[in-house]
Amino acid sequence: MTEREALDRVYLPGSAETWQPPADEPAIPDALRPPTTGTRRERLQAWRGRHLLREQRAKDTFTNSRNPERGLPVASSSAVGNFLKSLLGNRKPIVVGLLVLHALAAVAGLAVPRILGTLVDSASAGGTAVDTLNALALAVAAVVVLQALLTFAARWISAVFGQDLLAAAREYVVRTVLRLPLSKVEGASTGDLVTRVTRDVGTMSESVRWALPQAVVALVTTVLTLGAMVLNSPLLSLPLLLSVPALAIAVTRYLKRAPAGYITEGSTYSDINTTLTETVEGARTVEALGLQGRRTRLGDADIEVSAQAERYTMSLRNLLFSVIDFAYNSPLVWTLLLGGVGYANGWVSLGQITTAVLYIQAVVAPLDQLVANVDRLQVGVASTTRLLGIAEVPQDREPGEDTPDGVKLTGVDLRFAYREGHDVLHGVDVDLIPGERLAIVGPSGSGKSTLGRLLAGINRPRTGAVTVGGVNLVDLQLDVLRTEVALVTQEHHVFVGTIRDNIVLAREDSPDAAVIEALQAVDAWGWVKRLPDGLGTVVGSGKVKLTPAQAQQIALARLVVADPHTLVLDEATSLIDPRTARHLEGSMSVLLEGRAVVAIAHRLHTAHDADRIAVVIDGRIAELGSHDELVDAGGAYAELWQAWTS
């Protein structure tokens, strides 16, 4: 039997493929690698082939992102439109003020070329009084000052508008992330979620603060300038107006392809972050198993794929800008030629030609800004679709209005699978007596933690139900559920804030006396009162750093303040040394009096003190009874106890 065949007997079929890519499959196909030889025409044809292949890969990624088999989805462009509509709809006065101020600033700016044209006509006519010329010059100066004041006011209100919009968008993202089903968060890759709430939020914020207001300003200025050109001379406006269709075709083509390209870019950034995060978090395992080379190659492959995605969007921008450069420069030449013919035939005056040329020069800046901000907005829209995709994750429960009639917790025929077709629990029944302490023990991977999550209402069982007081746990409102049953795992988190804030999360109206009592119950008050500001000491990332044991004590104190009638402790003291853990559990015993406690642990002293012990093996309860009964039975628990005490 080969080593691979032996592994296939031990692990689920195909399980290795979920984390190990096929060794013979390159990160990118050879067709995406540029040739090193060939004529210029052959290389151009090869580039076109690579561009079309990158376009197809982007389309495939974009299609798969709408309804991914695993991970978080991406929202549609219409969802982004509705999102912006809701944000702007609540800010109509400031939007109107923004548009009015920018329109006035643009109109003031358009008056300058018209006055200069009049000045040229007056000077060329001869016999014009000096006072008239001076008055026109002063009018230009006055208009310039007025435009500067209006522009300052418009940019000030744009900044206020952008920051307000950004704050609302970020609050929406935070609310959406907090509503995510826990099971979906755990199923998504860490890198994807991190990328969405960091890079995508940053990109969205830049678009909201700068790209969106500037695009509005540029659009208003461009439209008004085109109108002013037509009013000045319909004939001289023809070259600029005829260039608009070419611009429209190029921009439309770009907008049709850009979303898929930028969505693909964001997806590749998620892959890079996932690989990097997993490598850092598992650094000891990587080093112990000698996986450094494999992880490095995997990271290089992710970067290579990302580079191909960026080359595609760069090519789209280059194609767009080549058309734009032609559309910018050609109208000026044609306007001068047409103006010469028109002046020779008496159709236009020198002042009109001057005004038209100045308008063309003036429209280049806002038009260039408009196109540039359209590109920035496309990046922002792509990031926003990824952020809004979080909101499209379906909830794993539909809370009802029923309230429990009693505190009895019961689980019947519980089955659960992380992968379809592979149950990790097989028809488990649990009948928890109010006030009792039930210990769940068993070998690693037997399903203990999964059973604890079902009993705490974190996940919905595939079959059967967990009820409290006759009501299904997953049908309870979340705020009600957490006052009925609470879970503390071996994983913990300390939020940036004071010790007190971290403890009263479940009951924010708790007085300091209740917080101190909870800290005393978990044997933490001694070190907390020695901190610089006691309960007011700010902890968390970048603040006072707590040890893993102290952070776990904070998590337990948080549970005490929440005051549920049933507690599920999943190796809640695993990060504390055995002697301290034993002391902590002893000090909590009085406080836990009258509550039902489900304790999941590898340390069998916890089981020794329990009223009943459930031995879980291969997703089934193999034994159930008191410590003495199970030791006398000589079964699996007796073997575990003997190994523990020997």
DSSP for 494-536, written as a single string: --SEEHHHHHSSS-TT--HHHHHHHHHHTT-HHHHTTSTTGGG
Name the segment(s) of the chain with CATH classification 3.40.50.300. 409-645
pLDDT tier for residue 129 given thresholds of 50, 70 and 90: low
Residue 471: strand pairing partners: 468
Highest mean pLDDT among 139-143, 364-368, 427-431: 427-431
616 vs 622: CA distance, rounded Å: 6
Side-chain half-sphere CA neighbours of 142 within 13 A: 7
Q: What percent of the chain has pLDDT over 70?
A: 89
In this structure, what token pair is assigned to residue 285?
């395992």
Name the segment(s) of the chain with CATH classification 1.20.1560.10. 76-391
CATH architecture of 409-645: 3-Layer(aba) Sandwich (3.40)
Question: Any idea which residue has 């026109």 for tokens?
Answer: 136
pLDDT number for residue 8? 40
Mind listing the pLDDT tens digit for each residue in 313-371?
A: 999 988 888 887 777 778 888 888 888 888 888 888 888 888 888 888 777 777 777 77
- Say yes or no to pLDDT of 23 above 70: no
Nearest C-alpha neighbor of 224 from the set 377, 371, 373, 366:
366
Q: Which residue has the higher pLDDT, 132 or 559?
A: 559
CA distance readout (Å), 375 to 314, 326, 380 = 11, 18, 9
Pairing mode of beta strands 437-441, 612-617: parallel
CB 323, CB 247: distance < 8 Å: yes
Instruction: Look up the CATH number of domain 76-391.
Output: 1.20.1560.10
Q: Residue-wise over 124-142: b if at least 16 C-beta within 10 A, else e?
A: eeeeeeeeeeeebeebbee
pLDDT number for residue 7? 36
Sheet holding 409-419, edge to edge: 422-432, 409-419, 463-468, 471-472
3-class secondary structure, 19? coil
Taking residues 149-155, report their average pLDDT.
83
Highest mean pLDDT among 113-117, 123-127, 185-189, 562-566: 562-566
